[in-house]
Amino acid sequence: MPRQQELDEVAEAGRAPSERISIQSAALADKVYDLILEQLISLRIPPGARITVDELVRQYGVSQTPIREALSRLESHGLVTKTHRIGYRTAPQFTREQLHDLYEIRMLLEPAAARKAAVNIDPGELDELADLIAEMQRETTLLSQPKYGRFARHDGAFHACIASASKNDLIADAVSRLHSQVHMFRHFYNTSVTDAALLEHQAIAAAIAARDAGKAEECMRAHIEESWRRLEKGF
């Protein structure tokens, strides 16, 4: 048995039953969150649609608790709204002005995060960036019609990893709240952006891996500018 697996099993055995249940519940809520998020990004649940807890319970075969936890998290990120006695709905589609404001925030935060990440990133985070790029590359080259929902999730994780590697928790939290909304809009208007975005991601990751803070900032800024130009075509 691999050494790490042995350590994991020992650690798990040493936990109290209530602690193990808590960890399992949190993992299930995270999984449900990812499933709902992918449906939102791929527009299988369209903007403005009603979401019922009971329907999701039947669809995923879980209790209401992880469903409600996932929906609360999506609400905190602005992806769903909750109305008293009515329930949840997906957020309406962004207007051009709202999306432009969002990109202004990205331009302020993410180049700075990339600069700081080039200085502060640790080896595990570098490996994570490489793994995410590999996943996105597979999704653009091995599928005749890339599953944009999966690509978008990996794209968001890529940006979140860089923000986390900046070692500024406020930047990391803000970036995590921005990206799902960007991808929901992008899928609605244009899914032919994966190849260009992948090349831009590779340039960012290479600069960070080289510990070139100035280049990392420059590549991130160029990526966000190009992303905005691609989205403008949708209007």
Q: Which residues pair with 87 in a beta bridge?
A: 83
Average pLDDT of span 70-90: 88
For the cut 80, the answer to whether the pLDDT of residue 170 exceeds it is yes
**Whole-number Å distance between alpha carbons of 146 and 154:** 13
Structure tokens at 192: 């032919």
What pLDDT digit, counting tens, does each position of 46-58 carry? 888 999 999 999 9
Average pLDDT of span 197-218: 97
Helices then strands, each counted (H, E), the chain: 10, 3
Query: Do 113 and 171 contact (CB within 8 A), yes or no?
Result: yes
Strands (DSSP E) found in the chain: 50-51, 80-83, 87-90
Query: Do 46 and 90 contact (CB within 8 A), yes or no?
Result: yes
The predicted pLDDT at position 149 comes to 67
The helix/strand/coil state of 89 is: strand
The predicted pLDDT at position 47 comes to 86
For the cut 70, the answer to whether the pLDDT of residue 96 exceeds it is yes
Which residues make up the CATH 1.10.10.10 domain(s) of the chain?
Answer: 3-90
Which residues make up the CATH 1.20.120.530 domain(s) of the chain?
Answer: 96-232
Q: Looking at the domain 96-232, which fold is it?
A: Four Helix Bundle (Hemerythrin (Met), subunit A) (1.20.120)
Return the exposure string of 104-129: e unless at least 16 CB atoms fall within 10 Å of the residue's CB, then b: eebeebbbbbbbbbbebbeeebbebb
The CATH code belonging to domain 3-90 is 1.10.10.10
The helix/strand/coil state of 94 is: coil
Q: For the chain, first and last CA: distance in Å? A: 56
**Maximum mean pLDDT: which of 48-57, 145-154, 213-222, 223-232:** 213-222
**Whole-number Å distance between alpha carbons of 103 and 182:** 9
Structure tokens at 217: 């900032």
